[in-house]
A and B are shown apart, each in its own frame.
Chain A
Amino acid sequence: MHRLEFIGRFARNRGALIGAVLILVVALMALLAPLFFPVDPLRIVGQPELWPGEDPDFPLGTDSLGRDMLSMIVHGARATLLIGLFASAVATLIGVGVGATAGYFGGWIDEIAMRAAELFQTIPNLIFVLTIVVILGSTLTNIVIAIGIVSWTPIARMTRAEFLSLRDREFVQACRAMGMGDLKIIVAEILPNALPPVIVLSSLVVAGAILFESAVSFLGLGDPNVASWGRLVGDGRLLIRSSWYICAIPGVAIMITVLCLNLIGDGLNDALNPKLRDR
């Protein structure tokens, strides 16, 4: 597919374009957070429970301890996006590995891989994540790995389906005839062709991972050193009678980010399969 044509099709999708622009803003916010808000976001800077707009110094108000909400949201973007990206990377690595092996070799390997996928789909995902985190400890690494472990199955199925349809094509047969090894065929020949739809799917997995992380942090099981958006919602939970904005604002941030990632995923999907667009 021509790259320009692809980008053009993506850009014509208004929702996807808005999503991409907003995600860029969030990403910039995350990158430049220390520049705009050099002070530790968890430091107490003003009166507690100032409503948004009440004090021009704190456009989004302050929380129950008097910490700047805007600073916490901007710094939280960092944690939230990084966790989402890394968890999705873990899921993609596992999913592509399992799916490629299953689709390429077929037979009993395929059978075992698909049973494993079914197994991981059977265990209620968040319960699995909480169990892993509580047994192995609430560190950032454990949370990222746990989310990856429950999110790889759709990627594995997609990769497998792509490999099934590609493995007997002529160019692959040609490679085989030339005596190329299985590993090289998988990685260098089939994988690049199978990757586009898989990448689309992993952009959706980022969205899912962000929701997972926010739920884990909300329940108070997140890494205590990381102030992600989910944790901010959880922190504000006891104050909903007097200051419900403390809960509302980080939640809106999560929702917008996830919404944009979904829009981008949809846009990429449509651009990849123009025929399906009108469905």
Chain B
Amino acid sequence: MAGELASPTASPRITRGSSRRVAAFRLLRRRLIQAVPLMLGVVVINFVLIQLAPGSFLELMTAENQVSDPATIALLRKTYGLDDPVWLQLLKYIWALMRFDFGFSYRQNIPVIDAISVHLPATLLLMISSITLALAVGIAAGVVASMKVRTFWDTLVSVVAMFFFAAPGFWLGIMLIVLFSVKLGWLPVGGMATIGGASSGFTAVLDILHHLLLPTLALGLFYAAIYTRVMRSSMLEVAQLDFVRTARAKGLSRNRVTISHVLRNALLPVVTILGVQMGTVLAGSVVIESVFSWPGVGSLLFDSVSSRNYPVVLGIMVLGSLVVIAANIAVDLVYMWLDPRIEIR
């Protein structure tokens, strides 16, 4: 069903499925190979930042975390290889990261990787729900605006989108709290679960969703505004293509053509943007999490930034980039599924 709407291809049904799977594997392999230099780049940037830090990185770290035991400092000097030449330090750093050794967080007294992975699920949940909201709202609003182009509805959608595109997410979050939590009392001010509430089962899930709603709106509406604008112009563009006229000429109704022919092809630019913006969604969640005390990586980053806990900050940057690369690969696969004609380089 999916393949035949996007483009008229002559190949028979049976081979198409398997050849697409092969193509998907090939894409996956190529993307994974391309990810290696990208990750190396992230690590090198990280390393440069460490080198640029004023004063010895180690001095700052030990001072901030009140490590004064000379044996520990000697061990740290050895771990970070501070007496080695720079190039050797870089190689050792890369080698450590390859084994997922991001150093040790003295603040929490656990390895950095553990500190981050505890917080990662909450952030991923917020990201996924925000993107889902943004896609649903953005696509729907964009389609409506394009079908009612240059009418009151079109203008209304554009104006609302302009506003959400300009509103800072953290401010929108605070205003949502003022309205829905302080004034109306409908939704919680922050956190991820009610303290002392059910810890498992259906009620617990409902409780989390209840807490998730406002942060999702605060983070997602900005992207919904972007997708609305992209979707609208892309719908209008696709609607002028020849195959749409053909479909109309065959006698299909306007709505039918819009939904099954135009919509699918118009989605492609939205998917492209989704991939490009994965990093900014993750970054945006940092601020939103701090507004809503959402216990994700953003809150951890904020704590670590305030306490100058460098290993955690740098670890979040590396792992955040990794999440973005993985999400981008997923987006590419979706793109391929939407438009089988395209060979992604």
Contact = CB atoms under 8 A, between A and B. Distances in A.
B175 A124 contact: no
B39 to A, nearest CB: 9
B178 interface: yes
B167 interface: yes
B314 A131 contact: yes
A130 interface: yes
A116 interface: yes
Contact of A221 (B169, B305, B317, B320): B305
B119 interface: no
Given A233-B170, A279-B236, A279-B237, A130 B305 contact: yes
Contacts of B37: 115
B182 A241 contact: yes
A126 B284 CA distance: 7
B41 interface: yes
A145 to B, nearest CB: 12
Interface string A15-26: 000000000000
A116 B168 CA distance: 28
A227 interface: no
Interface string A111-122: 000011011011
Interface residues of B, number: 53
Query: Would you call the interface of chain B mostly helix, strand, loop, or mixed?
Result: helix
Given A134-B313, A247-B174, A125 B279 contact: yes
Contact of A247 (B171, B233, B310): B171
Nearest to A240: B178
A215 B170 contact: yes
Range for the number of chain A residues in contact with chain B? 35 or more
Residue among A124, A220, A240 facing the most chain B CB atoms (10 A cut-off): A124
Contacts of B174: 233, 237, 240, 244, 247, 251
B162 A254 contact: no
A101 B167 CA distance: 35
Contact of A254 (B168, B182, B317, B328): B168
A119 B41 contact: yes
B162 A240 contact: no
Given A134-B313, A247-B174, A279-B233, A127 B301 contact: yes
Nearest to A260: B166
14 contacts: A115-B38, A116-B41, A121-B276, A122-B42, A130-B305, A135-B49, A214-B170, A230-B168, A233-B174, A244-B174, A248-B178, A254-B168, A255-B166, A255-B167
